Amino acid sequence: MKQITLAHGSGGQAMQQLIGELFMRAFSNPLLDEQEDQARIPLHELTAQGDRLAFSTDSYVIDPLFFPGGDIGKLAVCGTANDVAVSGAIPRWLSCGFILEEGLEMATLERIVTSMANAAAAAGITIVTGDTKVVPRGAADKVFINTAGIGSVPEGVNWGMRQIHAGDVLLVSGTLGDHGATILNLREGLGLEGDLQSDCAVLTPLIQALRGEPGIKALRDATRGGVNAVAHEFAASSGCGIEIQEGSLPVKPAVRGACELLGLDPLNFANEGKLAIVVERQAAERVLALLRAHPLGRNAAIIGEVVEHKGVRLTGLYGVKRTLNLPHSEPLPRIC
Amino acid sequence: MKQITLAHGSGGQAMQQLIGELFMRAFSNPLLDEQEDQARIPLHELTAQGDRLAFSTDSYVIDPLFFPGGDIGKLAVCGTANDVAVSGAIPRWLSCGFILEEGLEMATLERIVTSMANAAAAAGITIVTGDTKVVPRGAADKVFINTAGIGSVPEGVNWGMRQIHAGDVLLVSGTLGDHGATILNLREGLGLEGDLQSDCAVLTPLIQALRGEPGIKALRDATRGGVNAVAHEFAASSGCGIEIQEGSLPVKPAVRGACELLGLDPLNFANEGKLAIVVERQAAERVLALLRAHPLGRNAAIIGEVVEHKGVRLTGLYGVKRTLNLPHSEPLPRIC
């Protein structure tokens, strides 16, 4: 079976061949095909869509590489695209850096690259520049991917945590914890059955449906650390508090089962295709309806509100309010 | 001694603390300080400097992390800045993704981050967005860094390999192989003395000195694979050949010594602060003088020419011409 060797990262013939036969073929587009050391994107394409460049990056180290609902390649496109998209921008261009372990099966890399290419094409994203490094066996675990993404934020769209005020309402765009529970089940061999599948998706279409909408304050995709981590960021940055209604949280039965089994909270579980959104109170029902009208948001729910009193609290099913701390760490390393 | 733990990459409190106390402090600037999931860069700052966005990425996996002349942090700034700068753009903004191994000494990370911050500040670059992942002990080797960089290419500057024609001349901006020989000496414990130091540097000032100059065809920073790899790319992309004069190559005595000892060719050695430049023949002497007038280019030399006959050839000291193949791989993995 063909494997990655140190030569594939050395700047010599083997690397040229890998780039030419795998990456250039899978990702082909006019900007990438120039094969210069940098992509050159006409600025009028950016200024036509907005007045600020949104620029974000994430590295992906997920274990296992393949999981129900996705793989590291799809995740590397969706995750960074979403970090750009939550600004209101349409993510358009990605860079892509691979760190490969010597001995990685070429077939595995091909599968990942094909998945990246498919996810990017489906989202109207082009991968315009990249880099490949190979480290000796044992110096990395199979494959790590970094992507950086760019797009333009439309004039007048100023979503951000500093817009948040007491009285605002917190929504999520769908069921919580699907990604985290799926990876946990797979990694720990829990053997849970049922509808456990990562929600890994590019959220641009759902976010664009909200773009003209007044009353939207801040958007985040609730990845590592889950909705709880986002709620803490919202609270800290706005100087307010967040109160969440436990009974309002949309959670799939299979995910709820995994959480109950392990004594974990779906609020802390990673998502890869869910938004946490703060909106003005009078806009909440309208935004909820907009979200639910879209396939990516059909399980959207209003889950809480922004209050004066600092901190994040959860009101339980019996009305008891308790402080929701940000855990020291999430239960699972290498979740994304 | 304080170490990196899995919690530092988990999206919980420990990660917030690492970001707040180390990264935000070292890299602080108004765009980063917003702490949104993406930086938002006013597009007028880009359009004021050019008409195309230059966008590039590299991952850095160098071993050892610290070496004479630099470290992985400085390299992660210089390398990506140079990949942007060779388009003629001034690199202005960087993203930064860390992949850390559990158990990494916090002091080591601090030293790297400080070095990145210093290198960026010295080059007028701001680090505006980032990401941190931690993988379990043994799943990565200490620290890997990815950076992506952006800047604007000035209107009318169209440097690129497709401009290259037979009759053009090839220059380098200084001594060859300094970075590669330094890392080789350190890694293989060769114990070579003398002036072995990485040339790791941001080349923007040198490149900007060339910007108004007519007759410049293409620029590359000659990193992995050395000048030989760049010559092969120039030849392949232009459909021409490149002939290099061995006697014209600027090589420091200490580097030449290392090469002779090991039977290696400085043309294949990595550089981290050297340009390969193709210019029209009548511009060659003027460009050479410009390069030599700058501290980063004082050992610049004309080393060869572009010819009709495809391939890359080296004319030896006794006038014998031989084909210079692109090696299957460079001698050293993890050189950058």
Residue of B nearest to A162 (CA): B34
Radius of gyration of chain B from Cα atoms?
Answer: 21
Q: What Cα–Cα distance (Å) separates residue A147 from each residue in A122, A158, A198, A208, B132? A: 17, 24, 20, 22, 13
* Interchain contact, B41 vs A59, CB within 8 Å: no
- What is the domain partition of chain B in residue ranges? 6-153, 161-323
Per-residue model confidence as pLDDT tens digits over B101-135: 999 999 999 999 999 999 999 999 999 999 999 99
Give me the percent of chain A exceeding a pLDDT of 70: 100
* Interchain contact, A333 vs B136, CB within 8 Å: yes
What does the pLDDT read at residue B190? 86
Per-residue model confidence as pLDDT tens digits over B218-238: 999 999 999 999 999 999 999
What does the pLDDT read at residue A171? 98
A161-323 CATH: 3.90.650.10
Partner residue opposite A86 with nearest CB, options B16, B37, B46: B37
Q: Please, what is the average pLDDT of chain B?
A: 96
**Which positions in chain A touch B54 (Cβ < 8 Å)?**
38-40
What does the pLDDT read at residue B262? 86
Q: Shortest CA distance to A139 belongs to which of B316, B303, B65, B231?
A: B65
Q: Please, what is the average pLDDT of chain A?
A: 96
- The region, left, alpha or beta by phi > 0 then psi within -120 to 50, assigned to residue B96 is beta
In angstroms, what separates the C-alpha of B20 from chain A's closest C-alpha?
12
Q: Residue B305 in contact with residue B243, Cβ under 8 Å?
A: yes
The number of angstroms, rounded, from the C-alpha of A174 to the middle of its chain's C-alpha atoms is: 14
Q: What Cα–Cα distance (Å) separates residue B107 from each residue in A131, B1, B2, B39? A: 28, 8, 8, 28
Would strands A126-135 and A93-101 be described as parallel, antiparallel, or unpaired?
parallel
Per-residue model confidence as pLDDT tens digits over B6-20: 999 988 899 999 999
Fold of B6-153: 60s Ribosomal Protein L30; Chain: A; (3.30.1330)
Per-residue model confidence as pLDDT tens digits over B266-308: 999 999 999 999 999 999 999 999 999 999 999 999 999 999 9
Per-residue model confidence as pLDDT tens digits over B238-277: 999 999 999 999 999 999 999 988 888 999 999 999 999 9
Partner residue opposite A12 with nearest CB, options B57, B150, B229: B229
Q: Which tokens belong to B310?
A: 């495809």
ipTM of the complex: 0.97
Per-residue model confidence as pLDDT tens digits over A277-309: 999 999 999 999 999 999 999 999 999 999 999
On the question of pLDDT at A218 being above 90, the answer is yes
In angstroms, what separates the C-alpha of A44 from chain B's closest C-alpha?
7
Per-residue model confidence as pLDDT tens digits over B173-188: 999 999 999 999 999 8
- Strand, coil or helix: A244: strand
Per-residue model confidence as pLDDT tens digits over A181-204: 999 999 988 888 788 999 999 999
What does the pLDDT read at residue A20? 94
Per-residue model confidence as pLDDT tens digits over A67-125: 999 999 999 999 999 999 999 999 999 999 999 999 999 999 999 999 999 999 999 99
On the question of pLDDT at B4 being above 90, the answer is yes
Per-residue model confidence as pLDDT tens digits over A127-185: 999 999 999 999 999 999 999 999 999 999 999 999 999 999 999 999 999 999 999 99
Binned at pLDDT 50, 70 and 90, residue B205 comes out as very high
* Interchain contact, A326 vs B16, CB within 8 Å: yes
